[in-house]
Structure 1
Amino acid sequence: MWDFSFWNAYKGSYYSSLVVTLQLSILAILFATLLGVIIYWMKTSRFGIGPFRPLRWIAVVFIEVIRCVPMLLLLLLVYSGSKLLLGIDFTTFQAAVVAIVMNSSVYIAEIVRAGIEGVDKAQIEAARSLGLNKVQTMRFITMPQAIKNILPAIGNEFVSVIKGSSMASVLGVAEVLFTAKMVTGATFLPFTPLAVAAIFYFVLTFPLGRLMLFIERRCKQSDLRERTL
């Protein structure tokens, strides 16, 4: 059962796939954060033609559609449909990044919304009464406090993205799970190559999860100190 005789022959492949997983996850979370902020801005935008709010409706439709489509199906749709519908021939890696960004961005948009709406409304009203305009209030009052709520949640979403990147193996992206399945097929060992992949994911996600808990506790302690002053 615990036969690791394959390790010396395939450790290079595992390490290479680890780099691919990190590249995929980091790119995905960066672009998903940017897209999530844009989606939040669109959803809260007051731009409209009469009672019709086109930006808000586009954001709402995008969020609801992506939420209802399974991640695995979204990967296949992006990879197969990009050429057919848009004339863009994505590589498997690019398609995986796009699909993960689309999936993660809707959750980040809600994280941003919850972080901003979690700021005490009385502070915003006080800032406006002191003469700060909407942009200044957002910059100096709302965002510094909202970021304390947003950062830990973004970190947890990064953990989810790392784990979700394993689905890119269905497209043939040479990330950790794809390598584990390749080793399984080459060595006819059904368990240990997958166990090694699980260890790699654990090494990636566990420290990050602990770091997010530490940051969250520090943010809560900072809030308590500010309230007691």
Structure 2
Amino acid sequence: MKMKAKLVFWIGLAVLAAIVIYHLNWDLVRALEFSTVWEYREVMVWALGMSLMIALIATAIGLVVGTLLAIVSQSSLPILRWIVVIYVEIFRNTPILVMLIWVHFALPILTGFTTTALQSGLIAMALQSSAYFSEIVRAGVGAVPRGQWEAALALGLPLRPRWTEIVLPQALRIIIPPLANLAISLFKATSILSILSISELMTVSTRISNFTFKPIEVLTVAACMYFIVGYLMSRGTLRLERHLREGER
């Protein structure tokens, strides 16, 4: 069955590639000058590093805040659970573009607290990612067998070791794959920070294309850079999932 599915996939991919090749404007393709992009390789690699750094920081902050929210969502106090629900629903269902603009332009007017473009981007991405991370961690915690909770209570473990030694280690095996997938999505979402002129890969690529008048070449290389990093991260996630499954056997 798997071999048949793979065969169908590769046949479909070959047909799609044939259609694209047939409709290509080969005169335009032959006129492309990628040597121009090579001159700016160091700048584009630096910008890619900036995108990765932003994604890493947003992931770290979002994971910490999301884990705390997931823990609070298990509270016996209804008011705390409702606060978490409201937080998650607001930031999970608000477009990241709207959040970026609101944090950078509206928040200073309302609070008097100004932020740089980079800080605004990190805040907006961390807020949204924390809402998603919260749901992932909460689902992982919910998958821990009820007997484990009862055993921890029977042993008289305080709240902190109950979470750090019993619940979270078991939930970690479940939540690592979706956490990694969300981190990949955050990396790709850094491209939208170009609206604030943050010097990540998309912003730098746009500036180079405007300066060299080679938008197709520059943006094609930028797309390939996004794809390569995203693909490597995806393959790493698949290997991690396979390793975790083997560890459970």
Give me the CA root mean square deviation. Answer: 1.8
Instruction: Indicate the residue corresponding to 2:104 in structure 1.
Output: 79
Do residues 110 (structure 1) and 140 (structure 2) align?
A: no
What is the percentage of aligned positions where both structures have the same residue?
30
Encode CA deviations 1:93-126: one digit per residue, 9 max, x unaligned: 1111001101111110011011111112234334
Instruction: Indicate the residue corresponding to 2:38 in structure 1.
Output: 8
Do residues 32 (structure 1) and 62 (structure 2) align?
A: yes
CA drift of 1:207 comes to 1.3
Do residues 133 (structure 1) and 133 (structure 2) align?
A: no
Do residues 96 (structure 1) and 121 (structure 2) align?
A: yes
Do residues 175 (structure 1) and 210 (structure 2) align?
A: no
Q: 1:43 to 1:126 in 2, by over 3 A?
A: closer
Q: Unaligned stretches of 5+ in structure 1?
A: 48-52
Asked whether the 8 Å contact 2:71–2:138 carries over to 1, the reply is no
Encode CA deviations 1:109-159: one digit per residue, 9 max, x unaligned: 011011111112234334544x24363443333222111112222111110
Asked whether the 8 Å contact 1:17–1:176 carries over to 2, the reply is yes
CA distance in 2, matches of 1:37, 1:199: 33
Q: Unaligned stretches of 5+ in structure 2?
A: 1-28
What is the TM-score normalised by the length of structure 1? 0.88
What is the TM-score normalised by the length of structure 2? 0.81
4+ residue runs over 6 A deviation: none
5 Å-filtered alignment, 1:35-74, equals 35-47=65-77, 53-74=78-99
Range 27-36 or range 120-129, more displaced: 120-129
CA distance in 2, matches of 1:56, 1:144: 23
Range 147-156 or range 8-17, more displaced: 8-17
Give 3-state SS (helix, strand or coil) of 2:34's partner: coil
Give 3-state SS (helix, strand or coil) of 1:173's partner: coil
CA distance in 2, matches of 1:29, 1:204: 16
Asked whether the 8 Å contact 1:82–1:90 carries over to 2, the reply is no
